[in-house]
Structure 1
Amino acid sequence: MKKILLVFLLFFSIKGWPQQNENNEISFSKALALHLPSYKKKAEKAYRLRNFNEAKVLFDSLVNYKLAGSFMDDFGFKNLKGKEIYLSKFKKPVYLLTYASWHIPGKGELPALNELAKKYSNEIDFVVVFWDDKKTVKNLSKKFNHYISVLYVDETENEGAFAVKQLKHSLGLPTCFLLNEEKQIMKIKRSVFHPYGISKKESFDMNYEAIEEGIANHLLKQKSEGSNGNHLALSPE
């Protein structure tokens, strides 16, 4: 009877464990399921106590030690023609930025992103995903140059619910994911928050530097070194 109980418990513990393949790879959604509940509980307490430094440390710890190294799920979005586009369509390293129409970017953020997308267009795919309806996104897309793929998920259509839950409601927005060619997450970043009242030039410089730093250290560096055999094994603890 004890042996039967042991087998029963072992079966369900394995079934509920985030699945990893033979290369010790784990998906982003599985890593989230494992680590997000604990993070949210601690982060909510930190924000409730207005301990914003602690909240930042918790977020950095989550993304740097629990989520980085996982592989982004092959989420599907829509382009401005209404066609379904999956992340696997992009063959280069991906600079993936999640946005919403109600988010007001820093005055230098979009110009910096456009400039860098043009500069690195031969080496990196730049993708912006909006959580909004097609009409709104089509209008917003005019702010981005043609080197950036503008996609969207309209929650009112009840489609893409899995992508919305994982990418929008888990970490908030705007959030930037730096993915190598195999869609492994090399880094997760927030947008630059700069002091109020600085000039457009100062805002541009701060955003340009922050975005390019991420590209150089987490996308181009990985591409030049090669990522085969260098997958990060995520700890289940």
Structure 2
Amino acid sequence: MKYILTLLLFILVGDAFSQDKLFRNTPKKIGDFQQLASKARYKNDSIRARAYDDSIRNYIINSKIDNYTFKTIEGFFLTTENVSKPIFLVTSASWCGPCRILVKPLNKIAEEYSDKIQFVVLYWDTKENIDSLAKKYSSKVTIVPSPKQSSSDGMMGLNITGFTHSLGYPTHYLIKNKIIIDYFTGALAANVNIQNSKEGFESPILDTDAKTFNLNYELLKTSVEKLLK
């Protein structure tokens, strides 16, 4: 069994590196491996599922992006070919709770690093659906709505002028010299300590909003510092 899994990993990783490392080539492979990973988890085969997840990472990391031209919510155009700085690109959606959690820490990070990094948020939603939400972002963050509303049965998919994403929301792509050097999905949430005096002690009630902000701020800061290395 161990030999089979090792061979599986070798084949999957080798296949990932045998092809041109272009991000535009990843969507079908990602979809195939996501299905295989889901089937493995259904069978409680965590080792095989992890192998498929690793294969997805192998396809994405170190892949080269094309030149994309994004139309911002203000109606301006941002062409990645003309961006000389590293790009911190986030995929988001109005119905995504973790995406909302990340707005404030992203604003702070953008205020601190916008002179060195281009911050871009691609939205699953159209301009009409995120007008009020976009106002919550710092002017240092470029907001890009979808040109047309995605279908409700494809809520995990996003395609804006060729940039195709299907990994869930929010996903953060770290792009340096047109290469995706890393990515991660999701946000962090703080644990809550409940005050309890009946049992002879009291635990301080944490300011969960503040702690959640700090956790995600540090997460984003670590990522942008990786872009600057």
SS at match of 1:66: helix
1: CA distance, partners of 2:163 / 2:49: 20
Give the corresponding residue for 1:44.
38
**Deviation (angstroms), 1:179:** 0.2
The 10-residue stretch of structure 1 (195-204 or 124-133) with the greater mean CA deviation from structure 2: 195-204
Give the Cα separation in 2 of the matches to 1:122 and 1:47.
Answer: 43
Tell me the TM-score normalised to structure 1 length. Answer: 0.68
Q: Is the 8 A contact 1:127 1:148 kept in 2?
A: yes
- Partners of 1:108 and 1:205 within 8 A in 2: no
Scaled by the length of structure 2, the TM-score of the pair is 0.71
SS in 2 for 1:167: strand
Q: Cα gap change, 1:53/1:80 in structure 2, threshold over 3 Å: closer, same or farther?
A: farther
Measured in 2, the distance between the counterparts of 1:73 and 1:51 equals: 36
Matching residue's letter, 1:86: T
Structure showing greater relative contact order (alpha-carbon pairs closer than 8 Å, 6 or more residues apart): 1
Q: Which residue of 1 aligns with 2:87?
A: 94
Identity of aligned residues (%): 27
1:178 aligns with 2:186: no
User: Is the CA contact 1:106–1:203 (under 8 Å) kept in the aligned structure 2?
Assistant: no
Query: How many correspondences in the alignment?
Result: 192
Structure 1 residues 95 and 174, CA gap change in structure 2 (3 angstroms): same
Aligned 8 A contact 1:131 1:154 in 2: no
In structure 1, C-alpha distance between the alignment counterparts of 2:39 and 2:74, rounded to whole Å: 43
Distance 2:105 2:47 in 1: 27
- How far has the Cα of 1:204 moved from its partner? 1.1
CA RMSD in angstroms, aligned pairs only: 3.1
After TM superposition, the structure 1 stretch with the greater mean CA deviation from structure 2, 107-116 or 95-104, is: 107-116
Counterpart secondary structure, 2:97: coil
- Rounded to whole Å, the distance in 2 between the matches of 1:109 and 1:144 is 10
Unpaired runs of at least 5, structure 1? 1-17, 21-25, 222-237
1:204 partnered with 2:213: yes
Match of 2:60 among 47, 55, 67: 67
Secondary structure at the aligned position of 1:42 is classed as helix
Over residues 162-220 of structure 1, what are the superposed CA-to-partner deviations in whole Å (9 max), with x where a residue is unaligned?
5488533x32222110001x210010111224256570111011101111111112x00
Change in 2 beyond 3 A, CA 1:79/1:42: same
